[in-house]
Amino acid sequence: MKSFRKELWFEVPGRRGFVNVTRQIEACVRESGVREGLVLVNAMHITASVFVNDDESGLHQDFEKWLEGLAPHAPVKQYRHNDTGEDNADAHLKRQIMGREVVVAITDGELDFGPWEQIFYGEFDGRRKKRVLVKVIGD
């Protein structure tokens, strides 16, 4: 069995944003040489997320509105976490909702997706570099 590990780095200029990372993950799978196996993609920061969904701008706007309704950034004093001097408690909650990682099957050297599925990096406390782990295992 082969094993491949790579870190991808992202710096979203705003506080929040969604980045389609599907092409980068496909490149990692090709680089790994794995034809049949699994790829794990996970955010290595507790205010960022990795998830699978459709690459449609209206849906991304809906995510933003929905997440902000569930865990609004302001007022920052509403969260106990922010008593530490942070202002990102909402980002931790948003990450918890959107998830830490995805696992995608690899079949015949390709990501084995359903219709419209893409992999996204979700940033909820941006403006600094953060990393995503890509781990490919298989034959």
At 63, which CATH number? 2.60.120.460
Domain that holds residue 57: 2-138
pLDDT interval class at 93 (50, 70, 90) = very high
pLDDT of residue 42: 98
CA 32 to chain centre: 20
Q: Which amino acid is at 104?
A: V
Neighbouring CB atoms inside 10 A of 132's CB total 24
pLDDT interval class at 34 (50, 70, 90) = very high
Q: Name the burial class of residue 65, with classes exposed (0-12), middle (13-18) and buried (19+) by CB atoms within 10 angstroms of its CB.
A: exposed
Give per-residue pLDDT as tens, 46-87: 999 999 999 999 999 999 999 999 999 999 999 999 999 999
Q: Name the burial class of residue 39, with classes exposed (0-12), middle (13-18) and buried (19+) by CB atoms within 10 angstroms of its CB.
A: buried
**Average pLDDT of the residues of the chain:** 98
pLDDT interval class at 111 (50, 70, 90) = very high
